[in-house]
Chain A
Amino acid sequence: MTGEPKGRAPAAFNLDDPRLSADLPLKDEAPAQKPEGPKGPPAASREPAPDKPGAAASSGPQPNAKPRAAAPQPKAATPPPSDQPAGTMAAPPQKAISRTRKWGGIFLSAVGGLVVLAMLIWVQDTFLTLLGRHDWIGWAATILLAVAVFSFAMILAREIAGLARLSAMTTVRKRADSALMVEDTKQARVAAGEIRAIFAERRELADGLARLRKHERDIMDAKQVLSLTERELLVPLDKLARVTIGSSGRRVLVVTTLSPAAIISVGFVAYENFRMLRNLASIYGGRPGFFAILKLMRLIAGHLALTGGIAFTDDILSQVLGQGVTARVSKRLGEGLINGGFTMRIGLAAVEVLRPLPYVEARQPRFREFVSEFLKVGHRFAGEIAPEGKERGKG
């Protein structure tokens, strides 16, 4: 499609011409995606792909977290120290840390390896002796072993699938970003198709999916393709996410304020955050496993490290004010507000990481808007989106 009119004279083809590949209405993505497979996206998708197994299997002490964090998230592309959430932003300190850590890491790995070996020998011995017995204990042990192996495989598969979905979402996001940047309709359509595939089984989006399918063929501009996808599929999900984040924040606020012991509130905050992340990931189609959530947390930490500073100044005033006044009323309530607020900020960052599209047409939610959500005591059902419906006209 570059401007070389010389070799490309106008021509007519019969419809049964084998050289012709029609992208008629709905089959649009299927053929478009295939040829793309080896060329375009892999450049983007390969990078996160090989680290999937790595992340699933190890996620342990190795310091090779840097390339992994860099690959999937365009915005978090530079923050290597993603396992140090808030502080350490620049590159140099990370270097120093990795050097001092190296020996410790090697030591730990070696010791870990020894322990694993010892365990393996013990397990092997036990099993061999168990299996060697030809009585009912031996049979029971065999069956239990089979069940254990099978279920472990299933868990592993689920975790890997969860991670794959997560990185698929970040790939889609990348593709959508680049399609918007260079206004490439084809890429945008591929991205839109992938997003539709992610949400294909969601019943609550069936309506929007049907509408998308109807318009899809007639929309010719990358931005419009994506903004329509966003409007039909993501805006309802954004509302859902908003309610989820709000209710988590509220819960943290209440528990922190009322809990009799600090340890309880700490535990609850951790639990609630975990739960919120899982819910958010499910809302945006991630269906994550445990490791996927860990990875998500790391991405979020990276994101917060990058953007936190800015967002913090944006909202610091209200927080200081809030704390100043409320702390005078009750120290606990002040703590609750801080904890709840932070939970919500994590939620917002999670949305930013999870959302398969950038904000094309919809407005990016700001922390301040959540304060109203926060204080809305009453509706705690995540599914309840009716009240938000009215606010749409504003945006």
Chain B
Amino acid sequence: MALLERWSSSALETWARAQDTAAQMFAPSVRLGVTGLSRSGKTVFITSLVHNLMAGNALPFFEPLAQKRILRTYLEPQPDDAVPRFDYEGNLAKLTAAEPEWPEGTRQISELRLTFEYAPGAMMRRALGATRLMHLDIVDYPGEWLLDLPLLDLTFEEWSRQSIAMAREPSREPAAKEWLAFLGETNPLQKKNEQIAKHGAEIFTQYLRKCRDDALSFSSLTPGRFLMPGDLAGSPAFTFFPLEAAEGAAPPDNSLWGMMARRFNSYKRHVIQPFYRDHFARLDRQIVLADVLTVVNAGAAAVADLERAMSDILGCFRHGQNPWHAMFSGRRIDRIVFAATKADHLHHTNHDRLEAILGLIAKKSIARANFSGAEVKAFALASVRATGEAEARQGNDRLPCIVGVPLKGERLGARVFDGKEQLAIFPGDLPEDPALALSPEWLSMGHSATHFVRFRPQKQRPLGFGESAVLSHIRLDRALNFLIGDKLS
């Protein structure tokens, strides 16, 4: 069934691809997918990336810039008219305001085209003269949407079984209590009823939301679009929920089960497939952001869940090196970056440990990507740096601290921060062995071992004449160099 649907859409895919190929002849474009689960820092990442590329003053390890081969970088109207534009200017204004704030998160897919005018690096090409153009299409989409992609291969009954099993896990049970109670009262074979469907979908969504909150910080939640419905909210395709239905049997007509199964299928057809065809299948490079620190804050269950979500997400990528026939068979993602964002909430002596933890979380996916020929790297980065560093003496010990203004309402021990005072925070040490960091014993120590506080963005220094604002970052340039540096050579 799912296979059939995929085939039926492949004609459309091929057409889109042919259009792409024609455009590629003149000015090549690279589609960079930026994703990550909610609050992982996608918006800030893109804003900082675009700003730094245009200002060109703070990316010492982005090779094309370091070699002074980039002549000009500017924004251009994007090629896809049906996709909202990424609100770069608005987000930048927020970050560089007199009272800087973090911009609001990604709610839907958006896109931005950045064009480079550059001199090729290779001698041969340089001899041919002329500068070249390259478009970088940055596609920003919620990581939750990726979690939906595996649903393409599932039937309603299979999905139901998985969801219900997950909801019954002890870590989720408190959040799922209400919905599970509702499920117990509902007979899948009863006559279909719009009110029941609506009510059920509502409490199911509430359960998903609760799971995502800070206290639990779960990541693996399907259907992802329920959390970010966009303009289809309230339509039948969004009004369903899993049922305890027998696998293999066909649902009787007019039953609630039949209705749910149908809606599940139209969710796949009208929501997941278009996204897959129009956006996801056309990516060249991908960066997956993850807020590992918050998840570590939340404890063992959240970490295990992130691991599951990551491997689900990465299962969707068709990565591997582009073969010559790629123009017919679809592009492939040949480079992937996993980034643990908000590395500035941690002293730099701990960065490689953060990288190691991320590497462990994404281990399976990295192995799979490597196997299929894609290059994968993990970085600990900070898109916009909100802190400085300091050291505090405590007895004979020196505590590596970070200095910044904690967000209002953040707390450390008994202390609640007011969002104004600048403080030096020692967030604790991540363990040297990443496996230990992911072990339940360590995570269950909770906030006595580590507690990562979130910070406000730093105020901008007053600018000199002709200077553009500097969004300082950590390792953004290295990640960027890995992602697109080779395309500009």
Answer whether A and B are interacting partners. Answer: yes
Chain A residues with a Cβ under 8 A of chain B: 1-5, 7-15, 17, 19-25, 183, 185, 211, 214-215, 217-221, 224, 227-228, 231, 392-394
Interface of B is mostly: mixed
Query: A11 CA to B61 CA in the complex, in Å?
Result: 34
B349 interface neighbour in A7, A12, A13, A185, Cβ under 8 Å: A185
Name 26 A/B residue pairs within 8 A (Cβ), A-sorted: A1-B349, A3-B431, A3-B432, A4-B429, A5-B429, A8-B429, A10-B425, A11-B394, A11-B425, A12-B412, A12-B453, A17-B424, A19-B392, A20-B393, A20-B401, A22-B388, A22-B424, A183-B352, A185-B348, A185-B349, A214-B57, A217-B388, A218-B472, A227-B61, A228-B60, A392-B67
Pairs of residues from A and B, 4 with the lowest C-beta to C-beta distance, nearest first:
A3-B432, A22-B390, A220-B348, A13-B424
B426–chain A nearest beta-carbon distance, Å: 5
B409 sits at the interface (CB 8 A): no
A15–chain B nearest beta-carbon distance, Å: 6
Query: A220 CA to B388 CA in the complex, in Å?
Result: 12
Contact A5 B450 (CB under 8 A): yes
Contact B449 A5 (CB under 8 A): yes
Q: Which residues of B contact A185 (CB under 8 A)?
A: 348-349
Q: Which residues of B contact A220 (CB under 8 A)?
A: 343, 348, 351, 474-475
A10 interface neighbour in B67, B390, B447, Cβ under 8 Å: B447
B463 sits at the interface (CB 8 A): no
Contact B472 A13 (CB under 8 A): no
Chain B residues with a Cβ under 8 A of chain A: 57-58, 60-61, 66-67, 69, 121, 123, 126, 343, 348-352, 385, 388-394, 397, 399-401, 403, 412-413, 415, 421-429, 431-433, 436, 442, 445, 447-451, 453, 472-475, 478
A214–chain B nearest beta-carbon distance, Å: 8
Most B-side CB within 10 Å, residue of A10, A183, A185: A10
Contact B67 A20 (CB under 8 A): no
Query: A17 CA to B69 CA in the complex, in Å?
Result: 47
Query: A183 CA to B356 CA in the complex, in Å?
Result: 15
Residues A7 and B61 in contact in the complex (CB < 8 Å), given A17-B392, A22-B390: no
Closest to A5 in B: B449
B384–chain A nearest beta-carbon distance, Å: 11
Q: Which residues of A contact B121 (CB under 8 A)?
A: 393
A194–chain B nearest beta-carbon distance, Å: 20
Q: Which residues of B contact A4 (CB under 8 A)?
A: 429
Query: A3 CA to B430 CA in the complex, in Å?
Result: 7
A208–chain B nearest beta-carbon distance, Å: 11
B398–chain A nearest beta-carbon distance, Å: 8
Q: Which residues of B contact A215 (CB under 8 A)?
A: 58, 60
Query: A209 CA to B247 CA in the complex, in Å?
Result: 69
Q: Which residues of A contact B350 (CB under 8 A)?
A: 1
B448 interface neighbour in A9, A214, A231, A393, Cβ under 8 Å: A9
Contact A231 B412 (CB under 8 A): no
Q: Which residues of A contact B448 (CB under 8 A)?
A: 9-10
Query: A214 CA to B60 CA in the complex, in Å?
Result: 10
Contact A15 B58 (CB under 8 A): no
Closest to A185 in B: B348
Query: A224 CA to B425 CA in the complex, in Å?
Result: 26
Contact A393 B413 (CB under 8 A): no
Q: Which residues of B contact A227 (CB under 8 A)?
A: 61
Q: Which residues of A contact B388 (CB under 8 A)?
A: 22, 24-25, 217
Closest to A14 in B: B423
Contact B473 A23 (CB under 8 A): no
Query: A113 CA to B415 CA in the complex, in Å?
Result: 76
Contact A393 B348 (CB under 8 A): no
Q: Which residues of A contact B390 (CB under 8 A)?
A: 20-24
Contact B451 A10 (CB under 8 A): yes
Q: Which residues of A contact B397 (CB under 8 A)?
A: 7-8
Contact B126 A3 (CB under 8 A): no
Contact B401 A3 (CB under 8 A): no
Contact B423 A19 (CB under 8 A): no
Q: Which residues of A contact B431 (CB under 8 A)?
A: 3, 5
Closest to B476 in A: A218
Q: Which residues of B contact A7 (CB under 8 A)?
A: 397
Contact A8 B426 (CB under 8 A): yes
Contact A13 B426 (CB under 8 A): yes
Contact B474 A12 (CB under 8 A): no
Contact A23 B424 (CB under 8 A): no
Q: Which residues of A contact B126 (CB under 8 A)?
A: 393
Q: Which residues of A contact B451 (CB under 8 A)?
A: 10
Residues A12 and B429 in contact in the complex (CB < 8 Å), given A21-B392, A218-B58, A393-B121: no
Query: A11 CA to B478 CA in the complex, in Å?
Result: 31
Contact B428 A219 (CB under 8 A): no
Closest to A219 in B: B60
Query: A220 CA to B433 CA in the complex, in Å?
Result: 20
Closest to A392 in B: B67
Residues A13 and B392 in contact in the complex (CB < 8 Å), given A3-B429, A3-B431, A231-B66: yes
Contact B426 A10 (CB under 8 A): yes
Query: A185 CA to B442 CA in the complex, in Å?
Result: 27
Q: Which residues of A contact B412 (CB under 8 A)?
A: 10-12
Q: Which residues of A contact B413 (CB under 8 A)?
A: 10-12
Contact B123 A393 (CB under 8 A): yes
Contact B473 A218 (CB under 8 A): yes
Contact B349 A10 (CB under 8 A): no
Q: Which residues of B contact A11 (CB under 8 A)?
A: 392, 394, 399, 412-413, 425-426
Contact B394 A19 (CB under 8 A): yes
Q: Which residues of A contact B352 (CB under 8 A)?
A: 183
B392 interface neighbour in A20, A25, A393, Cβ under 8 Å: A20
Q: Which residues of A contact B393 (CB under 8 A)?
A: 19-21
Contact A2 B432 (CB under 8 A): yes
Contact B403 A10 (CB under 8 A): no
Most A-side CB within 10 Å, residue of B343, B348, B390, B428: B390
Q: Which residues of A contact B69 (CB under 8 A)?
A: 393
